[in-house]
Amino acid sequence: MAKHHPLEDLEKACAESGLDMADEQFARLMDSRDPLRAFRDEFHYPKMSDVLNTDLSLVDPSADCVYFCGNSLGLCPKKTKEYMDVQIDKWAKMGVQGHTNGELPWAWCDECLEEDMTKIVGCNREEISIMNGLTVNLHLLLISFYRPTKDRYKILCESKAFPSDHYAFESQSKLHGFNPEDVMICVEPREGEYTIRTEDILAVIEREGDKIAVVCFAGVQYYTGQLFDIPTITKAGQAKGCYVGWDLAHAAGNVPLYLHDWNVDFACWCSYKYLCASAGGLAGLFIHEKHRSNDFPKLLGWWGHDLSSRFVMDNNMDLIPGARGYRVSNTPGFLCVPLKASLEIFSKTSMEELRKKSLLLTGYLEALIRRSYQRPVGQKVEDDGMSVYIDIFTPHDPQQRGAQLSLAFNVCIEELFKELEKRGVVCDKRLPRVIRISPSPMYCSFLDVHRFMGYLRDALSAAKASLGHLNTQKV
Ligand SMILES: *Cc1c(COP(=O)(O)O)cnc(C)c1O
C-alpha cells in the first residue's frame, strides 16, 4: 500500500476551502487548480445531443456528455481533420510524389512520430516502431521471443487476459506444435479476490520459471483496471531466464512507463484507447536495446530494409537493427495523421503531469462513490434487497491502478445503464452487474466526475423499480 493516497490531498483541499467534497463548488475549485484543464479544448468533446440514446428532455442538449470511455476509444483531437485535409490535398495534387514530399512524407511518416511516442512509453528511438495493429505486433514479437523448447515452453499470463492476447498465446503454442493447455499458465486472483497479487505472480515464476519461455501480462488489466508492478515482475521473470513482455493497450497514455529503464524485453500497445489516435489506429512495438541486433526468427518485409537501399530492390536484405526492422509493410500514411494530432497534444505535457492529475481525478471519483454507495463494513453480499451498493474492484492503492475504476453493483445494471445513457453518460457495461468508468486526465474534469455522480443518483432512482438485486460476488 502506498503511504500517500490522493484522498489525503483532496481532504486537505476541502479543509482549506471549507467546502464539502460533494459540493459542485469543490469540483469547480479543483478544475480551476488543474494545470492541464486547457487540454479539453484540444479535443472534440461529444455533446449530449450527439451521443446516442440520450433523452434530451432530461439534459441540456448543448452540454458536454460525460465521456468516461477513454479506456476504450479516446476522443478525437480537433486538429485531426485539418491534418487529414493536408494529406488528402497532397495525394490529390502530387500522387506518388507525396511519398517523399510535403507534410508527413508517407515513406517515413511513422518515423516522424517516434520521438513523441518514446516519451509515452519511456524508451529511445531505436527501441520502438509504429506499425500495424496491436495483436499483429504481439504475434510478430512472439515469433521472436516465444521459441519453445522441450524443457522451456510455457507462457505465463493472467487468467482473463484480453481475448485477443489469449488467442495469440493459444495460436502461437499451436504454431510450435504444442497444446495450449500445456503451455499457458494463467495466474488467477485468490478465492474471493478480484485482482491478482504480485506475490502470487512471483511465486509462480519462482516455482515454474525454468519451464517458462515468456511472461506476458497486460500493463493495466482491461477489466479490473489493475496496474501490475511491471519492473518487479520483469526482473523476477528474467532472473529465471524468461523473456518478459507487456501488452500496454490500457497503460500507454494512462500511466507513466519506463520500458527501457525497467529492462522490459518487449512490449506492444495500441493508440486508440488513452492515446486518442482513432479507431484501429497504428500500434506500437518495443524491443529493448539489448536485443537490438538479435538474430531471433522474425517475419520480414521490405519496410524492415534500410531506407538508403530499400528501393534498389536487389533482394538482399539489409535489415534495420532494432524495432524498425520488424516493420513488414509500408506504413498507412493516413493512419499517421490522427496519431500525429494526438501525440502533439501529449507532447505539450508529460505522462508524469498527466498522472498527477489522474491520481486526483480518479481518487475524487472513488471517494464520492464510496461515500454514497460503499457497502457498510461487515455487511454480507447477501444484502437487504433494498439498498444499492457498489464494490470498486479496481485496487484502492493508487500505485496499482490507472485512470479506470471498475464498479460491481449489487443490482442488475441493465436498466440502470439505459438510464445513464439517457443522461449522456458514456461508459462501458458488462452484464449483469459491472460498469467500467475511466475519466481520462487528458480531457475529463472534476466537474465531469461531479456530474457523473448526479446522473448516477438520478439513473438509480429512475431504474429503481427494475433493479433486480443480485446475491453474487462474481464479476
Ligand atoms: C484493446 C486491446 C486489444 C485490442 O487488440 P487490437 O489488435 O488492437 O484489436 C488487445 N489486447 C488488449 C490487452 C487490449 O486492451
Instruction: Write out pLDDT tens, residues 285-344.
Output: 999 999 999 999 999 999 999 999 999 999 999 999 999 999 999 999 999 999 999 999
**What is the arithmetic mean of pLDDT over 37-60?**
97
Q: Is 165 annotated as a binding residue?
A: yes
Distance 246 CA to ligand 1 centre (A): 12
Chain segment 401-448, per-residue pLDDT in tens: 999 999 999 999 999 999 999 999 999 999 999 999 999 999 999 999
pLDDT value for 3: 67
pLDDT value for 64: 98
Give, for 429, the enclosing helix (H) or strand (E): strand 428-430
pLDDT value for 359: 98
DSSP code, position 67 = E
How far is Cα 173 from Cα 156, in angstroms, rounded to an integer? 12
Cβ-in-10-Å burial (0-12, 13-18, 19+) of 402 comes to: buried
Taking the CA atoms of 208, 210, 216 and 220 in sequence, report the sign of the dihedral they define: positive
Distance 250 CA to ligand 1 centre (A): 9
- Is any atom of ligand 1 closer than 6 Å to the C-beta of 26? no
DSSP code, position 400 = G
Q: Is 134 annotated as a binding residue?
A: yes
Quick one: which atom of ligand 1 is closest to the CA of 137? 7
> Residue of the nearest CA to atom 8 in ligand 1?
134
Report CA 115 to chain centroid distance, whole Å: 20
> Residue of the nearest CA to atom 13 in ligand 1?
162
Res 373 pLDDT > 70: yes
How far is Cα 407 from Cα 254, in angstroms, rounded to an integer? 19
Q: Is 135 annotated as a binding residue?
A: yes
Cβ-in-10-Å burial (0-12, 13-18, 19+) of 151 comes to: exposed
- Is any atom of ligand 1 closer than 6 Å to the C-beta of 164? yes
pLDDT value for 1: 47
- Is any atom of ligand 1 closer than 6 Å to the C-beta of 428? no
**What is the arithmetic mean of pLDDT over 385-405?**
93
- Is any atom of ligand 1 closer than 6 Å to the C-beta of 134? yes
> Residue of the nearest CA to atom 2 in ligand 1?
249
pLDDT value for 390: 95
Residue with cell 528511438: 125
Tell me the DSSP string of 141-152: HHHHH----SSS
9-31 CB burial, b ≥16 within 10 A, e <16: bbeebbeeeebebeeeebbebbb
> Which residues are registered as beta bridge partners of 129?
285
> Residue of the nearest CA to atom 14 in ligand 1?
249
Quick one: which atom of ligand 1 is closest to the CA of 134? 7
pLDDT value for 381: 58
Return the C-alpha cell found at 80: 485531426
- Is any atom of ligand 1 closer than 6 Å to the C-beta of 166? no
Chain segment 202-233, per-residue pLDDT in tens: 999 999 999 999 999 999 999 999 999 999 99
For residue 278, give the nearest of 338, 222, 230, 334 by alpha carbon.
Answer: 338
Res 257 pLDDT > 80: yes
pLDDT value for 420: 98
Taking every pair of C-alpha atoms in the chain, what is the biggest distance, in angstroms? 76
- Is any atom of ligand 1 closer than 6 Å to the C-beta of 165? yes
pLDDT value for 91: 98
The bridge status of strand 428-430 relative to strand 434-437 is antiparallel
**What is the arithmetic mean of pLDDT over 128-136?**
98
- Is any atom of ligand 1 closer than 6 Å to the C-beta of 133? yes
pLDDT value for 383: 57
Q: Is 64 annotated as a binding residue?
A: no
> Which residue did the predictor score with more confidence, 375 or 12?
12
- Is any atom of ligand 1 closer than 6 Å to the C-beta of 249? yes
CB contact set of 91 (below 8 Å; sequence gap of 6+):
98
Does the pTM of the predicted model rise above 0.75? Answer: yes
Cβ-in-10-Å burial (0-12, 13-18, 19+) of 444 comes to: buried
pLDDT value for 395: 97
pLDDT value for 384: 62
**What is the arithmetic mean of pLDDT over 246-272?**
98
DSSP code, position 303 = G
